[in-house]
Chain A
Amino acid sequence: MRAVITVIGKDTVGILAKVSTVCAENGVNVMDVTQSILQGMFAMIMMVDISGCTVPFSELSDKLTDLGDSMGLRIHVMHEDIFNSMHRI
C-alpha cells in the first residue's frame, strides 16, 4: 500500500532528515522524493510504501503532524488512492 507524504512550509535545515527518520523508525519505506519551491514556499512530496509500517496509519499520521507542528510546517500523509481518484479518469 502506498501513501503520499507532503511537507509544505518555510524551508529550514533538516526537513528531509527528520521526516525520513520518522519513516524509518516506523518501517515506512521511502520510494521517491521530489521537492520544489512553490510560490516562495518549500514543498516536498514523498511517495512511500506503508505495507511494512509497524504502527497503525493514524499513529503515523499523528507523529508526522506533531513533527510538522514542532518545525512550523504542514505535513500530511494520505493514501495515494485519493490523488488517483481525483486526478485520473
Chain B
Amino acid sequence: MLNSHDILETINMIDNENLDVRTITMGISLLDCIDPDANRACDKIYDKICRYAQNLVKTGEDISKEYGIPIINKRISVTPISMIAGANPGVNPVRFALALDRAAQTVGVNFIGGYSALVHKGFSPGDYALIESIPEALSRTEFVCSSVNIGSTKAGINMDAVAKMGGIVNRVAEATADRDCIGAAKLVVFCNAPEDNPFMAGAFHGTGEPDCEINVGVSGPGVVRAALAKAGDCDITAIADIIKKTAFKVTRMGQLVAQEASRRLCVPFGIVDLSLAPTPAIGDSVAYILEEMGLECCGAHGTTAALALLNDAVKKGGVMASSHVGGLSGAFIPVTEDAGMIHAAQCGALTLTKLEAMTAVCSVGLDMIVIPGDTPSEVISAIIADEAAIGMVNSKTTAVRVIPAIGKKVGEELNFGGLLGGGPVMEINRYSPAKFIHRGGRIPAPMQSLKN
C-alpha cells in the first residue's frame, strides 16, 4: 500500500523542487518521403509529420494532467535531412527546413530536430549542400534545430568538416544577430552523436530506428539538490547513494510517462534518456548540486570530480528504473540554461578551460556557451576539434554549442529567455590555431586497446 510519506514526497518534488519530465520526443523516419521532385518530397514530409504527431501535444498534456507531472516539452526528431534532400541535387535544402517548420507549427511542438548531416568520415553532395544552408535555414525558421556529426570513435574526426563548421557557427550567429544570435543555440556539432536522443537541439532520428517511436527525457536537478541538502553532513559514499536513489525515482516517473505516451499514441517506446537537464529556474540547477556537495562555487577545483560522481550515480540509479535507456544519459552542463552556471561564469569561477575538463566526465559537451562576437572561425573550429577529441578518445558523445555574441565583448550578456536562458560572454584563448585547422584531412580513429 502507498504510505502518506511517499505521496507527500512526490508532491513536494513537483511543487517545490522542479521535478518534471523535460520532453516527450517523437522520432519519425522520413526515409519514405524521398522523392526526385523536391516539392513533392516536402509535401510528403509535412503530411507524414502531421499525420504521426497530430495527437502528440494533446496526449502529452492529458498525461501531464492525469499523473500530475509537468511535461515541459513535446518535440519531434526526424531522419537527418541531408539523406532526404540528397535526392534533389541543385535544390536549396532550406525548402525542407521550411516544410519542417510548418509541420512543427501545425502540430504545436516547440522544436523539431533533424536538419542534420552525418559527416564523420566525409561529405556526400547532399551533406555539403545542407551544411552550407544551415545559416539560412536557422534564420528563416523558428522551430527547426540542426546538428552535424563530425567525428566518431570508429571513424576518427573529419577535420574538413571541423574547419567548415567553425565558419557555419559564425554565419548562423550573424544571420540571427537581431535576435540575440539565437540561431547558434539551435546548432550542435557532435562527435559520437546518439541516434535516439530526445533532447534538443541535437535530436535526430537515426537510420537504425523504427518508423516512429517515443523517447522521453527526464530531468530533476532540483530534486537531487534537495535530497543532498536534507542529508546534511555525510561522506561521499552516502552522497553517491542518495543520488542513485533519487535518480531511480525520477527515472521511474519518466518510464511511466514514456510507456503511457507510447500506449496512447500507438507508437513503440524507444528509450528513456537519464539526463539531469537544468533550466534557468532558480533551484533547477546542476551547478547547485555540485555546490551542495561542498564546493564554494561551481568551477572551483574539485568540480570535475564532483561532476564525475554525479554523472555516474545518476546512471546507476536510472538504469534499473527503466527498461530501455539511451540518448545522451548524463548530467548536462549548458551554461546559459543553468542559474548556478550563469552565476559561476559571471563571478569568474567557471572558465572555458574548466568546462572543457568537465565535459570529459559528463554528457554532453561545451553547451550553450556565449563567446565574443569577433571570435575567428578557426578558433571555433579548434574548440570543436578539442571537444570532439575528448569524445572520440573516451568513446562518449561530446558536442559543441557555442553562441558567438555578434557585436559583444567579454562581460556583456546575451538573453534568449525561456528554457535557453542567457549568460555572460566568456573569455576564450586568443592564440591562433589557424594553420592546424586549415590543414584539413582526418584525425585517424583512436586505439581501442593499450588504454592509458
Chain A binding surface, main DSSP class: strand
Which of the candidate stretches B4-12, B163-171, B262-270, B305-313 sits at the interface with the other chain?
A: B4-12
Inter-chain CA distance A57–B260, complex, in Å, is 15
How many A-B pairs have beta carbons closer than 8 Å: the answer is 66
Given contacts A45-B4, A86-B6, contact A81 B249 (CB under 8 A): no
- Which of B7, B67, B252 has the most A CB atoms < 10 Å from its CB? B7
B2 and chain A: residue at smallest CB distance: A83
Asked if B256 lies at the interface with its beta carbon under 8 angstroms from chain A, I say yes
What are the residues of chain A within 8 A of B62 when measuring CB–CB? Answer: 58
Asked if B255 lies at the interface with its beta carbon under 8 angstroms from chain A, I say yes
Given contacts A81-B256, A85-B256, contact A58 B66 (CB under 8 A): yes
What are the residues of chain A within 8 A of B11 when measuring CB–CB? Answer: 6, 8, 76
Query: B60-87 vs A: 1/0 string, CB under 8 Å?
Result: 0010011111000000000000000000
Are B10's CB and A82's CB within 8 A? yes
What are the residues of chain A within 8 A of B9 when measuring CB–CB? Answer: 87
Asked if B15 lies at the interface with its beta carbon under 8 angstroms from chain A, I say yes
What are the residues of chain B within 8 A of A36 when measuring CB–CB? Answer: 4
What are the residues of chain A within 8 A of B352 when measuring CB–CB? Answer: none
Inter-chain CA distance A76–B15, complex, in Å, is 10
Asked if A78 lies at the interface with its beta carbon under 8 angstroms from chain B, I say yes
Asked if A84 lies at the interface with its beta carbon under 8 angstroms from chain B, I say yes
Asked if B57 lies at the interface with its beta carbon under 8 angstroms from chain A, I say no
Among A66-80, those with CB < 8 Å from B are: 74, 76-80
Query: B9-44 vs A: 1/0 string, CB under 8 Å?
Result: 111001100000000000000000000000000000
Report the minimum CB–CB distance from A84 to chain B (whole Å). Answer: 7
Report the minimum CB–CB distance from A26 to chain B (whole Å). Answer: 15
- Range class of the B interface residue count: 20 to 34
Given contacts A58-B62, A58-B65, A80-B2, contact A45 B7 (CB under 8 A): yes
Among A37-73, those with CB < 8 Å from B are: 38, 43, 45, 47, 57-58, 61
B320 and chain A: residue at smallest CB distance: A89
What are the residues of chain B within 8 A of A47 when measuring CB–CB? Answer: 2
What are the residues of chain B within 8 A of A57 when measuring CB–CB? Answer: 65-66
Asked if B253 lies at the interface with its beta carbon under 8 angstroms from chain A, I say yes
Inter-chain CA distance A87–B253, complex, in Å, is 10
Query: Which of B4, B8, B249 sits near A86, CB closer than 8 Å?
Result: B249
Inter-chain CA distance A6–B68, complex, in Å, is 11
Q: Which residues of B pack against A, CB within 8 Å?
A: 2, 4, 6-11, 14-15, 62, 65-69, 249, 252-253, 255-256
Q: Which residues of A pack against B, CB within 8 Å?
A: 4, 6, 8, 34, 36, 38, 43, 45, 47, 57-58, 61, 74, 76-87
Could you list 10 A-B pairs, sorted by A, with CB under 8 Å? A4-B7, A6-B11, A8-B11, A57-B65, A58-B65, A76-B68, A77-B68, A81-B256, A83-B10, A86-B6
